[in-house]
Structure 1
């Protein structure tokens, strides 16, 4: 195999595919990236057995062939080569070594045979549809922070993607929760998503898709194919196939409060900055901030046994009965950072019940936050 390729093209593609490769592997072949010549140049492929990512890259293939080389090592070498340089990849006759050369730089890397590289066969993917990059990115960004990291509740370790009827319309919904907070976002269901199974996309897959989408134009079309066990995203020249979480997502509708009658409307930016200021003195163990509400006024208070007390007053729109309720400051900041409008609306019931938070600038998202004792 002999390939000549622009360093910038190779680096960009390696930056996409090498991220799925775990740095520590008990199976040596999983540390490698598959390099194969194609008609249009070269194809790179990497996998961790749960996610498989491939990308076709423009290159000059002087001699056909395929091999696998250490992914992170190849990425680091190419990253350190000079801008604008050409890179030559060539294997020896036995296919046991690859020479990476550019200018006066030469590296010899140990190879493992292509035949050993695993292939995640997607099988039949029953549903396919397209979304604009901006729509898919918004579904991810509005919900990703609420994904649980608790491995024992593995069915919460991802974003639940499904269709739901909203009045006479059909929406594609993304939901994530860790038991303390819940985030829900939706877009108009694209053609082809009707009747799709409800699926749980794993946290790592969500993160990799988000990074790829950040390199896209907002109106770029993303193709999504899925079944009840796998999902495939085609983002430009990158194709990512991932296993789904095999579990049942809880009935999240039951925890979204319907009868919270105490409405608090406030300026999102001012509230977020005030929470951030008063929580400066809170300890890591107890990050509770108390919200004391009375007519037209909100008092934020944080008490720390080690550091002292902090308070701040805010003018708000609130006409219901006085109430005191506590929340985790970090969770409040996570939610307010996702809100796009200038104002946000909190619907409260009592100090022990979940609170519903809506975005003044986006009616398609909502958040639920469990209170803390303060």
Structure 2
């Protein structure tokens, strides 16, 4: 049996809660390998280090604490998180190891949880990182938030199950697609050489939790791994071993018929018209003519809705259908006016943010 060393420290409840919240998204509540459902807590000098891994993603959080006795221990990550989040706000929490139990005390509350002695937590090993660059965490958070909804959830198309991050001519690009819609973001970024990697969807979800918008983000890349370092967190993930499609070929280069409308007003109208459709997929049809857009929906049990909107449009008359959920997800990312660009009833529609040239969205039509 692994020897259990002493451990005793106090830490601010909010600090360790934030770290455990991030960790609980990576590890499973139960795992056939006990250590993979645990968080390793290590106290040394004035720092408590929390480490967890699911063998594909690992996270290390370094937190300030008052250390009385150094040592380390493994406990259920979700149990620790559930306890800490229920404690009173603004208090310090004391952790003390006694034999095979870890006691957690805060105010008048006291808990005792068993420690795990079997197995070890192995963080994802660092490779020889050949790319290393830095950018504001707020910019990267904004990028991922506005494109992540387009990632595929289809395991059969594993090369689409994430975000494609690549660089080209001093531009950092992030792209996601599921084959029905595509979202991309670009920003000027000084990077020595061009690269292209696919970051898994779970890593995308988890890195958003650790980004502190007041700090910069350091990104390191190897052939098989990516590492994000921001504030007190280091998150390392394996990359998707696959080839992302040449997405630029499907983005129309020709000028199409442009429609301009306030995104919030547009989203509200789509939401109203689609409410009569009770199916999971909520198709909605557009009827376009001079400075007018008519939204129309009919459900399988003959519910009906229609709404007319005044828009800036002087293209030819057009009838085209879309999945309303795809449209609402895009519009939720645009605060002001958006521009919709149409080509014909069988071609994808481009959606642009009139206030930012950094983002572009593409939505395929539906036959209704």
TM-score (norm 1): 0.91
> Do residues 208 (structure 1) and 203 (structure 2) align?
no
Q: Which runs of 5+ in 1 are unaligned?
A: none
Moved more, 227-236 or 59-68: 59-68
Structure 1 residues 132-168: Cα deviation after superposition (integer angstroms, max 9, x where no partner): 1221011101211101111110111111000123xxx
Contact 1:262 1:347 in 2 (8 A): yes
Q: Encode CA deviations 1:198-250: one digit per residue, 9 max, x unaligned.
A: 0111111111121222x533xx2111111121111111111111111111111
Contact conserved, 1:281 with 1:307, CA < 8 A, in 2? no
2:303 aligned residue: 308
Aligned length: 362
**Mapping for residues 271-282 of structure 1, pairs under 5 Å:** 271-282=266-277
Residue 222 in structure 1 maps to residue 222 in structure 2: no
Contact kept, 8 Å, 2:285 with 2:322, in 1: the verdict is yes
User: Do the aligned partners of 2:46 and 2:65 also contact (CA within 8 Å) in 1?
Assistant: yes
Match status 1:171 vs 2:175: no
Q: Residue in 1 aligned with 2:184?
A: 184
Q: Is the 8 A contact 1:7 1:81 kept in 2?
A: no
Give SS of 1:253's match. Answer: helix
Tell me the secondary structure at the aligned position of residue 332 of structure 2.
Answer: helix
Aligned match of 1:32: 38
Asked if the contact 2:12/2:92 (under 8 Å) is kept, the reply is yes
Q: How does 1:363-374 map to 2 (within 5 A)?
A: 363-374=357-368
Q: What is the CA deviation profile of residues 298-319 of structure 1, one whole-angstrom value per residue up to 9, with x for unaligned ones?
A: 1111111314211111111222
Change beyond 3 A, Cα 1:119–1:308: closer
The alignment partner of 2:275 has SS state of: helix
Report whether the alignment pairs 1:13 with 2:13: no
> CA, structure 1 residues 326+59, in 2 after alignment: closer, same or farther (shift >3 Å)?
same
Correspondence 1:140-289 to 2 at 5 A: 140-165=144-169, 170-189=170-189, 191=190, 193-213=191-211, 215-217=212-214, 220-289=215-284
Q: Are 1:2 and 1:88, in contact at CA under 8 Å, matched by a contact in 2?
A: no
How many angstroms does 1:286 deviate by? 4.5
Q: 2-side partners of 1:133 and 1:324: how far apart? A: 42
Q: Deviations over 1:230-284 (max 9, x none)?
A: 1111111111111111111111111111225222222222211111111111232
The equivalent of 2:8 in structure 1 is 3
2:298–2:304 Cα contact (<8 Å) kept:
yes
Q: Is the Cα–Cα contact under 8 Å of residues 59 and 123 in structure 2 kept in the other structure?
A: no
Gaps of 5+ in 2: 1-5
Structure 1 vs Structure 2 CA RMSD: 1.8
1:353 correspondence with 2:342: no
Tell me the SS of whatever aligns to 1:281: coil
The 2-side partners of 1:126 and 1:114 are apart by: 35
Distance 1:330 1:126, change over 3 A: same
Q: Which residue of 2 aligns with 1:125?
A: 129
Distance 2:92 2:111 in 1: 14
Structure 2 length as normaliser, TM-score? 0.93
Q: Distance in 2 between matches of 1:103 and 1:328?
A: 52
2:3 matched to which residue of 1?
Answer: none
